Chains A and B, each alone.
Chain A
Amino acid sequence: MNSRMVIRRIGGGLLVLWLVSLLTFLMVQLIPGDPAEVIAGDNASVADVDRIREQLGLDRPVYEQYLSWLGGVLRGDLGNSLFTNQPVTEAILDVAPPTLALTLTAIVLALLLGVGTGVIAGLRQGSWIDRAVSTLATLGIAMPSFWVAMLLVSVFALTLRWLPATTYVPLDRGFGTWLSHILIPATALGLATAAELARHTRGCVADVLARPYIRTARARGASTPHLIGRHVLRNAAIPVVTVLGLQTSRLIGGTIVVEAVVGISGLGSLAVNSVLQRDYPVIQGYVLFCALVVVVVNLVVDLAYGWINPKVRAA
């Protein structure tokens, strides 16, 4: 990928982010009725409604509201929560660590489980292992992550009592404690991603093994571990990166429900609570934050192709 294409991709990403910001800004304008009255609730006094109207700047012309809001967003100022008055950026960064830890652990588990089973299934096509992997993968894709989390809590926390049922524990309380608390939600979150990875890795391995250069290498006496390390895994890296990129959205959405099941106060819980409380600045901040993550991940995936695959680099 040459530098002109990189710049074009970044420009495309920025355009999408700007459009997301426009839609997010319009959210408050689109509330049916008088937004300030709706947000304040049924029992609010006139003073409360006026305070909210002023805080959201709803008494000014729309374009003026947008420009000052956008100016704030570009400086990292997303306004203040209507309920706690805490700056939105701070509120988001406060609860981001558990969600980040949960998502990254889910990705690591998904890679180990998905790529591992995918390679084994691809090497033994048509065997019972292959059929078992593909059946489980189909099932894994159809299972909602919050239900998987409920089942895991039911079995491993409440019945067998092997793992704690709820809450997040930061890493500085010890790796073992941290892992025991995050294992259930991360497994639930990563299962569908593991299933997708297994499917695509299997397909890629089967594809590579059918190529003539593999037969040539075998004829030269190359061992199977050598073939896997040198040819198969390298080629499988491309679908793995693609799937992980596409799964970002699913993982972010998954954190919302999984956090609700195991009682983690992360970004997902923040989002749900602010929707229930109609705390619009926080919702807007959360939506923008998610869009930023998705756009950046897509960009990184695009750039990673060039790094993994020399053919793309030359083009």
Chain B
Amino acid sequence: MDPAPPATRVDPAAGAAPRSPKQRNRVLRAVVGRPASAASLGVVTVLVVLAIIGPLVAPYDPDAQDLSNRFADPSWAHLFGTDDFGRDVLSRIITASRITIVAPLISVGIAVAIGLPLGLLAAIRGGWVDAVAGRLADTVLALPALVGALAIVAVLGPGLVNTMIAVGIIFAPTMFRIVRGAALAVTEETFVQSATAIGSSQRRILAVHVLPNIAAPVLVQVTILMGVALLVEASLSFLGLGVQPPDASWGSMLKAAYASQFDAPYAVIPPGVAMVLTVLSFNTIGDAIRDAVGIRRRM
């Protein structure tokens, strides 16, 4: 096996951790047990519900214009005021939550779809497969996330779908390293070696021993990447390369709000606070799971 240090250092004690159902309970209990992470779970839950039923609970039609009432200050009628077209900001934040939350979800899904199988393959096969995949990961990781995403958007063209693909590709190497490192750590455990010794097939070892044991580090990384992906996609939308009107995300709302900063200097606050709260929640949940399953913090 390649002696290179795995990307995530798995605590030796956690390698022999109880498998799926018990571990799942432990993770859930750890997240709900702390006030900060319980609150974060609440925020994410509310957000997911809003993303699904948003248009039903928004007080106004998010696209209804009222040009006689542009840049209205917050009031009981419009809690967060109105924007440059007189549209209700609160309703727009609620309905924009759908794209804001679905985009990073798809990006992280793409990252897992690429990184998980390649990471397992590299850990199990080793040799040239591992070397080639590892080098490729190093190469993509040599580019700052936003620069890499910018380059991919330059090839595919601007737009929401292309941004999601770009961010997914950019995060795939991170996922690859996590999976490879965790899988390598598991295959060195005695229970995997004894399973090999009694003649278990590679497929069985993978399904019964390896996958359940790498689930925790993958889950932590998925949670953390959700926050980062949200920020990268917001950045791209702010630069005009991501979500295009009439669609809206919190990132593109910030772009519009900033363009009218002289008329409404505080319009940048609601979408930004929503974004920070969401990212903060994902980070807090990720930290709680990490502590619960005994993975040491990354540098």
A residues whose Cβ falls under 8 Å from a Cβ of B: 12, 15-17, 19-20, 23-24, 27, 30-32, 138-139, 141-144, 146-147, 150-151, 153-154, 158-159, 200, 239, 242-243, 246, 248-250, 252-254, 256-257, 260-261, 271-272, 274-276, 278, 280, 283, 286-287, 290-291, 294-295
- Residue B275 lies at the interface, judged by CB distance under 8 Å to chain A: yes
Beta-carbon contact of B268 and A139 below 8 Å: no
A273: min CB distance to chain B, Å:
10
**Chain A residues in 8 Å Cβ range of B138:** 12, 16, 19
Instruction: Tell whether A20 pairs with B283 under 8 Å between CB atoms, given A144-B234, A252-B147, A256-B239.
Output: no
Q: Interface extent on B, as a size class?
A: 35 or more
User: Besides A23-B139, A147-B268, A256-B147, 4 other CB < 8 A contacts?
Assistant: A32-B156, A144-B272, A146-B238, A150-B272
B residues whose Cβ falls under 8 Å from a Cβ of A: 135-136, 138-139, 142-148, 150-151, 153-156, 158, 227, 231-232, 234-235, 238-241, 254, 258, 261-262, 265-266, 268-269, 272, 275-276, 279-280, 283-284, 299
Q: Which of B139, B146, B266, B283 contacts A256 (CB 8 A)?
A: B146
Beta-carbon contact of A290 and B144 below 8 Å: yes
Q: List 26 A-B contacts (CB under 8 A).
A: A19-B135, A19-B139, A27-B155, A142-B227, A143-B276, A144-B275, A146-B254, A150-B254, A150-B272, A154-B266, A200-B299, A239-B299, A250-B144, A252-B146, A253-B235, A256-B147, A257-B235, A275-B150, A275-B154, A275-B158, A276-B241, A278-B154, A280-B154, A283-B154, A287-B147, A290-B143
Instruction: Tell whether A20 pairs with B142 under 8 Å between CB atoms, given A146-B235, A153-B261, A257-B235.
Output: yes
Q: Which of A15, A27, A246 contacts B299 (CB 8 A)?
A: A246
C-alpha gap A257/B154 in the complex (Å): 16
Q: Which of B265, B269, B299 contacts A242 (CB 8 A)?
A: B299
C-alpha gap A108/B234 in the complex (Å): 27
Q: Which of A20, A144, A246, A272 contacts B150 (CB 8 A)?
A: A272
C-alpha gap A30/B169 in the complex (Å): 15
Beta-carbon contact of B265 and A154 below 8 Å: yes
C-alpha gap A108/B279 in the complex (Å): 26
Instruction: Tell whether A276 pairs with B268 under 8 Å between CB atoms, given A143-B276, A144-B231, A290-B147.
Output: no
Beta-carbon contact of A286 and B238 below 8 Å: no
Beta-carbon contact of A286 and B299 below 8 Å: no
C-alpha gap A165/B143 in the complex (Å): 30
**Chain A residues in 8 Å Cβ range of B261:** 150, 153-154, 158
C-alpha gap A175/B155 in the complex (Å): 41
Which of A17, A141, A143, A275 lies at the interface centre, i.e. has the most chain B CB atoms within 10 A of its CB?
Answer: A275
**Chain A residues in 8 Å Cβ range of B151:** 24, 27, 283, 287
